[in-house]
Amino acid sequence: MSGYQPLSREQLAQRIADDLPDGVYVNLGIGMPTRLARCLPRDREIILHSENGILGMGPAGELEDLDLINASKEQISLVPGASICDHVVSFTMMRGGHIDITVLGAYQVSASGDLANWDTGTPDAIPAVGGAMDLAVGAKQVWAMMEHTSKKGEPKVVERCTLPLTGAKVVDRIYSDLARIDVTPQGLVVRAMVPGLDPDTLQRLTAAPLHFDVRVGGYIA
Amino acid sequence: MLDKTVATLADAVKDIRDGATLLVSGFGASGIPTELLVALLEQGARDLTVVNNNGGNGPAGLSQLFLAGRVRKLICSFARSANPAQPSAAAFAEVYRAGKIELECVPQGIMVERMRAAAAGLGPFFSPVSYGSKLAESKETRVIDGKGYVLEQPLPGDYAFVKAQHADRWGNLTYRYAGRNFGPVMCMAARTAIVQVDRIVPLGSIAPEHVMTPGIFVKRVVQVERQEGSA
CATH code of A72's domain: 3.40.1080.10
Minimal Cα–Cα distance from A64 to chain B, Å? 8
Mean pLDDT of chain B: 96
> What ipTM, to 2 d.p.?
0.95
Residue B131: inside a domain, yes or no? no
Minimal Cα–Cα distance from B164 to chain A, Å? 11
In this prediction, residue A220 carries a pLDDT of: 74
CATH code of B44's domain: 3.40.1080.10
B79 contacts A127? CB cut-off 8 A:
yes
A66 contacts B28? CB cut-off 8 A:
yes
For residue range B57-111, list pLDDT tens digits in order. 999 999 999 999 999 999 999 999 877 788 899 999 999 999 999 999 999 999 9
Nearest to B129 among A78, A124, A134 (CB): A134
Residue B191: inside a domain, yes or no? yes
For residue range B172-188, list pLDDT tens digits in order. 999 999 999 999 999 99
Residue B213: inside a domain, yes or no? yes
CB B142 within 8 A of CB B131: no
In this prediction, residue B84 carries a pLDDT of: 78
CB A168 within 8 A of CB A133: no
In this prediction, residue A2 carries a pLDDT of: 61
Range of the domain at A163: 9-212
In this prediction, residue A217 carries a pLDDT of: 60
Residue A69: inside a domain, yes or no? yes
Dist. CA B121–CA A90, nearest whole Å: 21
CB B68 within 8 A of CB B92: no
Nearest to A173 by CA among A139, A128, A201: A139
Minimal Cα–Cα distance from A15 to chain B, Å? 26
Residue B61: inside a domain, yes or no? yes
Residue B41: inside a domain, yes or no? yes
Residue A1: inside a domain, yes or no? no
A86 contacts B182? CB cut-off 8 A:
yes
CB A173 within 8 A of CB A181: yes
Residue B132: inside a domain, yes or no? no
Nearest to B133 among A68, A91, A133 (CB): A133
Our count of domains for chain A comes to 1
pLDDT of B231 above 50: no
For residue range A92-105, list pLDDT tens digits in order. 999 999 999 999 99
Residue A221: inside a domain, yes or no? no
For residue range A142-180, list pLDDT tens digits in order. 999 999 999 999 999 999 999 999 999 999 999 999 999
> Which of B129, B147, B150, B188 best tests the A interface by mutation, with the highest count of A CBs <10 A?
B129
Q: Chain B contacts of A91, Cβ < 8 Å?
A: 108-109, 112-113
A128 contacts B184? CB cut-off 8 A:
no
Our count of domains for chain B comes to 1
Dist. CA B167–CA A194, nearest whole Å: 57
For residue range A128-146, list pLDDT tens digits in order. 999 999 999 999 999 999 9
Nearest to B118 by CA among B147, B154, B146, B78: B154
In chain A, what is the greatest distance between 2 CA atoms, to the nearest angstrom?
A: 51
Is the whole-model pTM more than 0.90? yes
Q: Chain A contacts of B177, Cβ < 8 Å?
A: 65, 67-68, 78, 84
Dist. CA A171–CA A150, nearest whole Å: 19
- Please give the sequence-ordered ranges of beta strands (E in DSSP) within chain A, or none if there are none: 25-28, 47-50, 54-58, 77-84, 101-105, 108-110, 115-116, 141-146, 157-158, 173-176, 179-184, 187-193, 210-212
Minimal Cα–Cα distance from B217 to chain A, Å? 15
Dist. CA A89–CA A138, nearest whole Å: 13
Amino acid identity of residue A65, one-letter, is D
Query: What radius of gyration, in Å, describes the C-alpha atoms of chain A?
Result: 17
**Exposure string for B129-158, b = 16+ CB within 10 A, e = fewer:** bbbbbebbeeeeeeeeeeeebbebebbbbb
- Please give the sequence-ordered ranges of beta strands (E in DSSP) within B67-154, or none if there are none: 71-76, 102-105, 125-127, 141-144, 147-152
A166 contacts B181? CB cut-off 8 A:
no
Within 10 angstroms of residue B59's Cβ, the number of other Cβ atoms is 12
Dist. CA A206–CA A185, nearest whole Å: 18
Range of the domain at B51: 9-123+154-223
Residues of A belonging to the active site: 51
pLDDT of A113 above 50: yes
B110 contacts A134? CB cut-off 8 A:
yes
